[in-house]
Amino acid sequence: FAKRLLQESYEDFFSKLEAESFGEGPALERLRRALLVFGRHVRQNRGPLMWILQDAMRGDRVAIEHAKANIPRHLGVLGRLIEECRAAGVLREVKLPTLMPFLLGGVNLPSLILTLLERTGAKKPFGMSVSDLEQVWLSDEGLGERIDLLLGALAPKKGTR
């Protein structure tokens, strides 16, 4: 039952990811939209994703099999988009194993941190209420701003390409 629920949620995410990745527009815009899909998915499923991560770290077979079957799928889509961006000259040459955690961590880690802050009863992280911090970090505006910062940091250096 857990396996089926996990897969159904994942397939919904993956179909949205593919639609944005293979959609219209320049590669960099499609990459931005794909990262928004990642951020929205983690935002909407942050509680269950924390459980899956915890279960996988404990060696739970269902969580590990789910990750093993699906992580290569979405990393493959993201990797293809990154290669398209490089070919178009809009992303600097950084090794994929460095780029992936930079992008996905920058987009998704705030959702997981916020979940931990909520669970630990944090009162005023960064001098803000947890609900105000949620708005800053997890709103579409907050996600978009972070994605723009990440992609801007990866723009080719002046004088190259």
List of residues 6+ apart from 121 with CB closer than 8 A:
none
List of residues 6+ apart from 6 with CB closer than 8 A:
52, 62, 66
d(CA 118, CA 123) in angstroms, rounded, equals 9
Instruction: Give the other-Cβ count within 10 Å of 15's Cβ.
Output: 11
Instruction: Give the other-Cβ count within 10 Å of 105's Cβ.
Output: 12
Please choose, from the candidates 74, 77, 81, 146, the residue with its C-alpha nearest in 3D space to the C-alpha of residue 108: 146
Predicted confidence at residue 160, as pLDDT, reads: 53
d(CA 131, CA 117) in angstroms, rounded, equals 11
CA dihedral 119, 60, 106, 99 (to 10 degrees): 170
Which residue carries 């398209």 as its tokens? 84
d(CA 74, CA 42) in angstroms, rounded, equals 13
Tokens encoding 11: 């397939």
Instruction: Tell me the pLDDT of the chain (161 aa) as tens digits.
Output: 778 888 898 999 999 999 999 989 999 999 999 999 999 999 999 988 988 899 999 999 999 999 999 999 999 999 999 999 999 999 999 999 999 999 999 999 999 999 999 999 999 999 999 999 999 999 999 999 999 999 999 999 876 55
pTM summary value? 0.91
Our measurement of the distance from residue 8's CA atom to the centroid of its chain's CA atoms, rounded to an integer in Å, reads 18
